[in-house]
Chains A and B, each alone.
Chain A
Amino acid sequence: MHSGWLSVFAFLVVSSLIGFGLLAASRVIRVRSKSDSPLKHRTYECGEEPAGLAWMQFHARYYVVAIFFVLFDVEAVFLFPWAVVLRELGSAAFVAAVLFVVVLMLGWLYALRKEALQWQ
């Protein structure tokens, strides 16, 4: 087996051990409640009352917020690998990334001026 894949396999084993281990541990050391109150069967067991069903119309503004989130999320996805190899690629890569961010910022400026971030 290739040694690179061995570490992936080890990572997989360790991470699933931690995940299942924590679940199992919490089952063993939890505080058992005596009563079976209806509150325990709520969606959020933290005192938050759910209002209505999830199958409802959402305000169109959520869409803009979601688009914004995706936009900056994707920006981060592009910038992480760039940051890792920046040293090898040199100044041209730096200029390219700056241009990329500047163009994104122009779009952000546009959205700001168009009051896309205001909830009215």
Chain B
Amino acid sequence: MSLWFALSPLLILSAGGLLLMLADAFSEKHTDLALGAFMTFASAGIFAVALWIMGGVPAEVAKLVAPWIVLDKFTLFFMATLCLGGALSSLLAGGYLPEHGLDRGEFYALMILSAIGGVLLVAAGDFLALFIGLETMSIGVYAMTSFRRTNPRSAEGGMKYYLLGSFAAAIMLYGFALMYGATGTTALAGIRDALASGSFGYARDPSRLTTVIIAMAMILVGLAFKISAVPFHMWTPDAYQGAPTPATAFMSVVVKAAAVATAMRVLLVAFGDKFSSSWGAGWPPVVAGLAVATMVVANLIAIRQENVKRMLAYSSIAHAGYLLIGLVAAWGHGDPSASRNGKAAILFYLLQYTVTQAGAFGALILCGSKGKEAVSYEDLAGLGRRNPAVALPFTLFLLSLAGIPPMSGFFGKLFIFQSAIEGGFTWLAVIGLLNSVLAAFYYLRVLVFLYMKEPQPGAVEAVPMKSGYVTAAMVLASALVLYFGLMPGRSLDMAISAAQSLM
């Protein structure tokens, strides 16, 4: 296998992104670009799956780009997941942008270029590659957030995201620098070896211990910001609400998956030594605290939202909390079986979350009418009767987000809580479970408005938009939600196999 083939998903995305950028500049009509973006994501995803089926990238090829880029099954799994999320988002964009007068072709190029950053972030085995991937991903997303140029909310969201994002990146970079100062390397595996080796000597040189702990805290801040964990979540609702809905879907799916993947790699690989990952002095109790805060705060605020898009933003923060439980379980007191199941649970959760969340935003797009998004619960009233073809997939996705069987979200949560119990964190699983019950309230509230309420007398009844692109995305996402929910076995096996390759 040549290196070209091993890197093919990245190369396809790069070539596709550049081609779409030029196609946008040199063509008059823009609507077909969505199809181009979809094809780019689909072919990159197919190549990632093909690499997986061929048994992954052979070690002698992977070592050509190591340690900067790690081409293990973990990377391939996420490449496919990110491409799936990108493909769904570009379909949503194909329907949304023309409908809302935003039909500018840059969007697709930005989305693909940002996804390249996401893939690089997932594959990064070195702090420098990681930072380049992070920034490549973020800059595209900042621009997409403020894409509704004339809308003050969009500008506000983009500005907040940009300022806070650069701030978090700077803090993280400072952490990288301190870590380099303490260990003399930027490679994740090298840092683990340096921290684990006896010659590093915390006991002999306590000042190094201080440096490592401060660096670890700073890196954690940067990661928590990208995952949008409480208390680093302030930008999320504004950015998600202001951004055009396909960009919101992209952010909550691709950016989140890439950020969680890199958090797994950094925490479990670089900080996987006995000391940094001890309950007494390492990162696991911090991540557990973040998980609890994230779930509780996000769910409590989500209940009070009157805007459906904002509610979905807070719900996306809450899902980050469940994923952080998985991260603690993936550490699992160093127990290999619990650790493997925890990692696999996160991977499966992200895979099913990608289709569910993208589908939910797609359904929200279909509920909106020309030039006006569906914003409040009232806008959705009576849609179940007026437009059952939209309400039905919406129901499916909301039930999956709430974690109700047989939707995929149920198994996602089940595996996370199971691995937490196995790893000895029953209390975390219980808090997570209580939060899922809390969350079910606001998901089911949407269903109440869809099926049991009628619009206020005299209210303007929005005519839901129609779009082949969004419908295709709905069909694809619904099929996958049902597939992951009814037959989780195969994808879970893949998640386990990917989890085992993470080291």
Contacts and interface: CB of A to CB of B under 8 A. Distances in A.
**Interface size class of chain B, counting residues whose CB lies under 8 Å from the partner chain:** under 10
Interface residues of A, number: 7
A113 B18 contact: no
B59 to A, nearest CB: 22
A109 B24 CA distance: 11
B365 interface: no
A114 B25 CA distance: 6
Interface string A84-116: 000000000000000000010011011001100
B26 interface: yes
Nearest to A115: B25
Interface string A50-77: 0000000000000000000000000000
A99 to B, nearest CB: 10
A17 to B, nearest CB: 36
Nearest to A114: B25
A42 B25 CA distance: 47
Interface of A: 103, 106-107, 109-110, 113-114
Interface in B26-52: 26
B147 to A, nearest CB: 15
Contacts of B26: 113
Given A110-B21, A110-B25, A113-B26, 6 more contacts: A103-B18, A107-B21, A109-B22, A109-B25, A110-B22, A113-B25
Contacts of A107: 21
14 contacts: A103-B18, A106-B18, A106-B21, A106-B22, A107-B21, A109-B22, A109-B25, A110-B21, A110-B22, A110-B24, A110-B25, A113-B25, A113-B26, A114-B25
A106 B25 CA distance: 11
A104 B127 CA distance: 25
Nearest to A102: B18
A107 B26 CA distance: 13
Contacts of B21: 106-107, 110
Contacts of B24: 110
Nearest to A112: B25
Interface string B6-32: 000000000000100110111000000
Nearest to A106: B18
A82 B21 CA distance: 28
A114 B21 CA distance: 11
Contacts of A110: 21-22, 24-25
Contacts of A109: 22, 25
B434 to A, nearest CB: 50
Contacts of B18: 103, 106
A107 B22 CA distance: 8
Q: Which 3 residue pairs of A and B lie closest in terms of their CB atoms, listed nearest first?
A: A113-B25, A110-B25, A110-B21
B150 to A, nearest CB: 15
Nearest to B18: A106
A104 B18 CA distance: 10
Q: Which of B18, B24, B25 is the most central at the interface, judged by chain A CB atoms within 10 Å of its CB?
A: B25
Nearest to B14: A103
A106 B22 CA distance: 7
A62 to B, nearest CB: 18
A113 B109 CA distance: 15
A50 B51 CA distance: 65
Contacts of B25: 109-110, 113-114
A109 B21 CA distance: 10
A30 to B, nearest CB: 47
Interface string B75-97: 00000000000000000000000
A106 B21 CA distance: 9
Contacts of A113: 25-26
Nearest to A110: B25
Interface string B89-119: 0000000000000000000000000000000
